[in-house]
Structure 1
Amino acid sequence: MSDSDPQPSISEMLATGLSNFKHNAKSSIEHLGGRDWIRIIMIVGTYLLIRPHLVKYGMRKQQKAHEEAEAATAGTGAEIHPNELRGGKKFAIPGVNDSEEEEEEAKPAEWGKKARVRQRRFIRGRLEEEERRLLDEQETESDKEIEELLTR
């Protein structure tokens, strides 16, 4: 183009592109022969038959990838072993400070803070219930031992 030729506007370019697309699509469909139609039908039919199998294959691959990622993050399993609960000793819950609830610093709002506090309270409550249950079992067991000694 030379400097004297005005550049077409965006709307003119879009209109030209649209008219070219219509003309090319119409002429390509008009000039299809019987063999071309059969070829198109075969391609579309094959796609429709194979697609469900491809989707299932993709789902299996994705599920395996998720399981591998989950296994990698799981690591060794539980951080607290059940035998540690029986000893009656206190232990720290990961990511929890006792003073954290009392001394909340001015931090930007974090998503899920209430949920974390609720979960922390739930875990503490369950641990206390478990400790009480174990103490009751120990007391009843010691009472039975004393009763056996007295009845002999």
Structure 2
Amino acid sequence: MDDLANLATTIGDRFTTNLKSTLDNMSPQKWIRVIIVAGAYLLLRPYLMKLGGRAQMASYEDEHAATEAEFAAKAKAKISPNELRGKVQIPEDTDSEGEDAEGGSTAADWGKKARRRQRDMIKKLLEAEERRLQESKEEEEDKDIEEFLIKD
């Protein structure tokens, strides 16, 4: 612990000694140089920040354009509804979901009715969609047939 304290005091003493000798040995020419360098930094800093901001914005726009192009490529490759038809899984009507291996009941029994309602709703939505598709298909067939009928 004494070594650490000695190190800290040594560093402090050297810093103060070096700082005092540097300031004592400064000539007016060196002071003018320091003032010019500091003034130039203060004058040029806003312009350098703007330049850096523009470069950062350009790289962001490039990255954003690449991300948008990637998203557009994914959007074009979406699955059509016809490919998705018939692939929807309807959960089975088993009520054993809330029971564990010993046949006892768990705390999730309250969800059975909600799961049943969800299954019924999914079935109704699928049936309605199939009915709508069937009707649109029949209408399309009727239009095809009307083309070939002779109208007087």
TM-score, normalised to structure 2, is: 0.45
Structure with the larger RCO, 1 or 2 (CA within 8 Å, 6+ apart)? 1
